[in-house]
Amino acid sequence: MSDQTLLTHISALIDEEHRLRAGPQAADTERLKHLEEQLDQCWDLLRQRRAKREFGQDPDSAEPRDIGTVERYEG
């Protein structure tokens, strides 16, 4: 997955999140939680890709990390 593909996916997730948050109070909280987790994972993967590129490594070797790892990261 390229950086541009990731950014396009992130943008689509953000658009959906904004639509849900702008909706009625009965917004789907489970879907919002899932969107937030997906966004965290995508941003993490993008950061990994950029770091690998910066240090001369193959950005395609970056792997998505599980949500538990991403959520507990204190970088």
- pLDDT value, residue 9: 97
- Separation between Cα atoms, residue 39 and residue 60, nearest integer Å: 19
- Separation between Cα atoms, residue 65 and residue 60, nearest integer Å: 14
Tens digits of residue pLDDT in 11-63: 999 999 999 888 876 568 889 999 999 999 999 999 999 999 999 999 999 99
Confidence of residue 67 (pLDDT cuts 50, 70, 90): very high
Burial 2-31 (b: 16+ CB within 10 A, else e): eeeebeebbeebeeebeeeeeeeeeeeeee
- pLDDT value, residue 26: 59
Q: How far is CA 4 from CA 27, 37, 54, 59, 72, in A?
A: 30, 20, 17, 13, 26
- pLDDT value, residue 44: 96
